Structure 1
Amino acid sequence: MKKSLKIWSTLIFLLFLFPIVLVQIQVEIPEEIAVVSSDDGKLVYAGNIIEQEPEVQTEMRALLYATHSQEAFEPITLKHDGKIAVYHEEANIMNLSETIRSQLEFNGLETDIIDVDFTAEMNKAGIPFHKSYDVARPYVQKALKDTDYDIIIDIHRDSLNADRTTITYEGEKFAQVVFVVGGDHANFKLNQELAEKLMARMEKEVPNITKSIVFKSGHGVDGKYNQDLHKRLVLVEMGGIGNDEAELNRTSAVLAKAVSQTLLSEYPPKTK
């Protein structure tokens, strides 16, 4: 009798613990695996693409690079080595380029990265920070000479804190995006036009995920940002110094989908 009571007591205790354990398991799922839904209802991990094949075949190519290569995000550097920093030699925006590439390729764009730490090169040579675009320029020129790209994206982050660069949509946080256009070259309106189209697509997906275009020209600014090299070269600021990896991953997925949709609808693939 005592043995039977002991068994029943154990079973009741385990049944009592089961929902608590289940909730704990759910809580411990890392935030980085937040999902974004595609048009056909599939779920795409913002950090890790779970599909083996691209969702769309576009026959288009993208090029990514980061002029300010060591721009960093405080939550990411803190997680990396316990230090809060806005510039970092390892945990920097170049890692975000890899995430965006994965998302672009999932959306059907074959994507290359100029894998050069321009900031490190400048530090070695003693070149001042404001010359960053001049240092990146020959690398971009070479890439454009070798390949006919359909879009080129220079990836940056804003210097604002998270409370000014983060929005919540349907219970998930996203890093806001700002497109920067330099007006000191003849074809800047083409760069601006593409930025506006990308913004419209992103806003349709996640309202308020973009801010107004930042237009720069005149004395004291670069004014070109190498956008004179290609009519579809866009400079995008992905969030700010306080955005974390999960927020940036979600926004990367939205950006990539907008790029694919915009290119397919506005700039159909070139006929061979």
Structure 2
Amino acid sequence: MQNEKDLFDMIKDAYPQHPSNDFILSTENSLRQKARKVNRKWMIKKVSAISAGFSLFSFAISWLFFFNGTESITGAFHSVENQSSLAIEEKDPLVYIYHTHNSESFMPELGVTNPNEAVSDSENVTLVGKELSKKLIEKNINAIHDDTDITGILLERNLSFTDSYSISREKLQATLKEYKNIKMIFDIHRGSEKRTDTTKNIDGKDYARILFVVSMTSDNYEENKDFAFQLNEKLQQLYPGLSRGVLEKGVNPQNTYNQDLHNDSVLLEIGGAENSVEEVYRTTDAFAEVIKEIIEEKKNNSSWMGLFTAPS
């Protein structure tokens, strides 16, 4: 299939290593299996949707016929909708976390020795975003973690790997439209450098280092750069040596890493293929502290004031 070949070629180009023929064959087989799974999922969704629609229709007819319960049904659905809306209005999210290259994974978790094989449908970088979201919520900072399977959508739509940012952009735009109070956006990736470059030992424990990446072709370049340096400085202050610094990239003008959509948006590379999830989690927990401190410092900013005012 053409889309599988395009996707695999782009994955190869994204990393400096040169995969073996065995890896090429195994990856192509994996992509074909994933494509078949996507097709099966769509069939299941279609059947489920039809079944659910029929069941709901039958329930409504039965209720009306036996109990004349039109108002009760309407009231029940209205109550659920209201509860959901109130939960969102009570505390809007401040942080949005997503993964454009969601299948990036870690060798120790997969039991592989070749960095090219550090790709997974489930044990991947989305676990890092989930952990960050969890730690932020524990610190009373509301966050949205988007674990959309971008790779699966590429296969489903017959797109190439270069379209990854276009797919993640769709969800980001929709989220920003729905939640106006989002103040920080992090696209979390896994790096490709050697372990010696991506690991820092702090107090006897290994941590995965963070690289902050900023697009130089974004209209928000200056704002995003300032934000990245602010994060870098705070991380170095709390955990010296844990940051790998700020990388400014003059990428294709058509690909700004979606940073043109928000002025506090940064791409994060946390660890590398040779790091373990445990090491990455330590860093994620540390980074949650960084975010909390920066939010505390921003409380006096006029555009943030209302977000920290207790409801009357």
Q: TM-score range by the shorter chain?
A: 0.7 to 0.9
2:278 is matched with which residue: 246, 251, 254? 246
- May I ask how many residue pairs the two structures share in their alignment? 211
**Post-superposition offset of 1:200:** 1.1
> Does residue 130 of structure 1 match 2:130?
no
Does structure 2 retain, via aligned residues, the 8 Å contact 1:78–1:84? Answer: no
Shifted more, 261-270 versus 130-139: the winner is 261-270
**Post-superposition offset of 1:270:** 2.8
> Does residue 176 of structure 1 match 2:213?
no
**Post-superposition offset of 1:186:** 2.1
Distance in 1 separating the partners of 2:143 and 2:235? 20
Percent same amino acid at aligned positions?
Answer: 25
> Does residue 270 of structure 1 match 2:305?
yes
> Does residue 154 of structure 1 match 2:190?
no
* 3-state SS of paired residue (1:88): coil
For residues 91-240 of structure 1, the aligned pairs below 5 Å read 91-147=123-179, 148-219=181-252, 223-240=255-272
Does structure 1 retain, via aligned residues, the 8 Å contact 2:165–2:255? Answer: no
Q: Partner residue of 2:101? A: 68
- Provide the aligned C-alpha RMSD in A: 2.1
* 3-state SS of paired residue (1:213): strand
Cα 1:249–1:144 shift into 2, 3 Å:
same
Q: Partner residue of 2:293? A: 261
**Post-superposition offset of 1:89:** 0.9
Distance in 2 separating the partners of 1:251 and 1:122? 30
**Post-superposition offset of 1:60:** 6.0
Distance in 1 separating the partners of 2:168 and 2:255? 15
**Post-superposition offset of 1:104:** 1.2
Distance in 2 separating the partners of 1:263 and 1:189? 19
Structure 1 stretches (4+) deviating beyond 3 angstroms?
266-269
**Post-superposition offset of 1:115:** 2.7
Q: Which is strand-richer, 1 or 2?
A: 1
* 3-state SS of paired residue (1:173): strand
Distance in 2 separating the partners of 1:228 and 1:84? 31
**Post-superposition offset of 1:71:** 0.7
Distance in 1 separating the partners of 2:270 and 2:220? 24
Q: Partner residue of 2:10? A: none
Distance in 2 separating the partners of 1:67 and 1:136? 6
Distance in 2 separating the partners of 1:117 and 1:67? 9
- Per-residue deviation, residues 119-173 of structure 1 (Å, max 9, x unmatched): 1110222211121111111110000010120211111010112222001111111
Does structure 2 retain, via aligned residues, the 8 Å contact 1:66–1:94? Answer: yes
Runs of 5+ unmatched residues, structure 2: 1-90
Does structure 2 retain, via aligned residues, the 8 Å contact 1:216–1:223? Answer: no
Does structure 2 retain, via aligned residues, the 8 Å contact 1:199–1:210? Answer: yes
* 3-state SS of paired residue (1:89): coil
Q: Which is helix-richer, 1 or 2?
A: 2
Distance in 2 separating the partners of 1:101 and 1:253? 10
Q: Partner residue of 2:47? A: none
Distance in 2 separating the partners of 1:267 and 1:228? 24
**Post-superposition offset of 1:218:** 4.8
* 3-state SS of paired residue (2:142): strand
Does structure 2 retain, via aligned residues, the 8 Å contact 1:103–1:256? Answer: yes
Cα 1:127–1:167 shift into 2, 3 Å:
same
**Post-superposition offset of 1:84:** 8.3
Q: Partner residue of 1:13? A: none
Cα 1:137–1:244 shift into 2, 3 Å:
same
* 3-state SS of paired residue (1:260): helix
Q: Partner residue of 2:86? A: none
Distance in 2 separating the partners of 1:67 and 1:172? 29
Distance in 2 separating the partners of 1:104 and 1:111? 7
Distance in 1 separating the partners of 2:157 and 2:116? 26
